[in-house]
Amino acid sequence: MMGAEHRSVGGVQMDFVKAGDARVKRVIYPAGFRWSTHMKQIVGTDLCMHAHLGFLAKGHLQIQYADGITEDLIAPQVVAIEPGHDGWVVGEESAVLIEFDFEKDTLNRLGMETFHHHRLLPKAE
């Protein structure tokens, strides 16, 4: 992407462009990617502690939170992923996420939870 900062970490390709106070990112997760396999040792945490808010433009991701809740994300789809998750690409094609963030202030600026909490729905009477 023209004018973008490019990084590659754990096999994931990332392009960043500043937009006002935010960043717009294109993140390409290759087929076979799993956060706990490819990023855990690089980052040094048991789970991904970043929030992800954006649009899954291509591919299929699964996210599993520490409480065991799993989400299936299939493009095209808007995604809001809270910190405290593992994630992996499903299938043989890469997944492309267009993401919006405010670097270290993302959770606060987007009003997202600091960690995933399983929400129980009230029982019908």
* The predicted structure's pLDDT at residue 20: 84
Looking up residue 83, the CATH number of its domain turns out to be 2.60.120.10
Q: Give me the helices (H) in 1-55, please.
A: 35-38, 40-43
* The predicted structure's pLDDT at residue 85: 92
For the chain, what is the domain count? 1
With respect to residue 87, please indicate whether it lies within any of the assigned structural domains: yes
Per-residue pLDDT in tens (0 to 9) along the chain, 125 residues: 677 899 999 999 999 999 888 889 999 999 999 999 999 999 999 999 888 889 999 999 999 998 889 999 999 999 989 889 999 999 999 999 999 887 666 656 566 656 555 554 454 55
With respect to residue 70, please indicate whether it lies within any of the assigned structural domains: yes
* The predicted structure's pLDDT at residue 16: 92
SS (H, E, C) 46-110: CCECCCEEEEEEECEEEEEECCCCEEEEECCEEEEECCCEEEEECCCCCEEEEEEECHHHHHHHH
Range(s) of the domain holding residue 27: 5-110
The tokens describing 122, both together, are: 């009230």
Question: Is residue 76 reached through a cis peptide bond, with omega within 30 degrees of 0 on the bond before it?
Answer: yes
The structure's pTM equals 0.82
* The predicted structure's pLDDT at residue 107: 59
Q: How many Å apart are CA 10 and CA 2, to the nearest integer? A: 23
